[in-house]
Amino acid sequence: MPGWIELQRGDITMIAVDAIVNAANQALAGGGGVDGAIHRAAGPGMADELRSRYHGCPTGSAVLTGSGQLGDHGVRWVVHAVGPIWRGGHDGEEDLLRSAYKTSFLLAEDAGARSVAFPAISAGVYGYPLAGAAAVALRTVRDCLVRAESIERALFVLFSTDTLEAFERALRELTPRG
Ligand code: AR6
């Protein structure tokens, strides 16, 4: 059965899904925004795991860890995705953002997740324009869901009304294929 996409406004650290995706940076060192919130909620064990297993992560890719204290409400994995910094749109940003979502989805799928929650990767301090970020996110995740065997529910957890509305518009405009 093909999976489905849901949109909701909220804080991704409060969501009970198998895997949540983080908008991280290449150093995997933690930071502000959703990254800071996820590190605070997970506790130091997740940062220790990042340091011991990985030596950073290139833009457009992602790595997977356990979820630390986020496990208290059922989250099993955190996928740390590195989206592109927006530099005007001629620096491969769209491909890199697509790749960050796709890699994240596949890592969650390979781990055996049935549900996964995403934030709006790159749409905060990395400056990716909201309408474009939403369109790339939804198209990529929709295309992944079509082929998924394990993941059946993909949730976008959007922190502000503006972001939620941009995703709602992009979802309405999503073409049936491609
Ligand atoms: N739950 C869901 N979404 C959130 C939350 C939350 N708790 N907090 C913020 N957002 P950003 P980026 C939204 O800046 O643009 C970090 O310092 C936020 O409103 O977190 O990919 C990293 O370490 C926005 O819509 O990520 C990197 O250095 C979206 O999450 C850098 O920021 C993404 O905003 C990554 O920048």
pLDDT at residue 78 tops 90: yes
Yes or no: say if 10 and 156 are a contact pair by the CB < 8 Å rule.
no
| Span 120-125, average pLDDT | 98
What's the predicted TM-score (pTM) here? 0.97
- For helices 44-53 and 33-42, give the axis angle rounded to 10 degrees: 110
Q: Which amino acid is at 173?
A: E
Cα separation, 22 vs 30, whole angstroms: 10
User: Which residue lies with its CA nearest to atom 28 of ligand 1?
Assistant: 25
Yes or no: say if 31 and 25 are a contact pair by the CB < 8 Å rule.
yes
Q: Does residue 13 have its Cβ closer than 6 Å to ligand 1?
A: yes
Q: Which amino acid is at 137?
A: A
User: Which residue lies with its CA nearest to atom 7 of ligand 1?
Assistant: 11
Q: Which two three-digit tokens encode residue 113?
A: 């997740």
Q: How confident is the model at residue 92 (pLDDT cuts 50, 70, 90)?
A: very high
Please provide residue 14's backbone torsions phi and psi, each rounded to the nearest 5 degrees.
Answer: -100, 5
Q: How confident is the model at residue 178 (pLDDT cuts 50, 70, 90)?
A: very low
Of ligand 1's listed atoms, the one at least distance from the Cα of 32 is: 17
Cα separation, 64 vs 60, whole angstroms: 14
Q: Which two three-digit tokens encode residue 66?
A: 């356990």
pLDDT of residue 17: 98
End-to-end CA, the chain: 19
* Domain formed by 4-174, architecture: 3-Layer(aba) Sandwich (3.40)
Task: Respond yes or no: is residue 35 known to be catalytic.
Answer: yes
Cα separation, 13 vs 84, whole angstroms: 22
- pLDDT tens per residue across span 18-55: 999 999 999 999 999 999 999 999 999 999 999 999 99
Count CA within 13 A, CB hemisphere, residue 57.
28
**CA 109 / ligand 1 centre spacing (Å):** 23
pLDDT at residue 176 tops 80: no
Q: Which amino acid is at 160?
A: S
- pLDDT tens per residue across span 135-174: 999 999 999 999 999 999 999 999 999 999 999 999 999 9
The number of residues in the chain equals 178
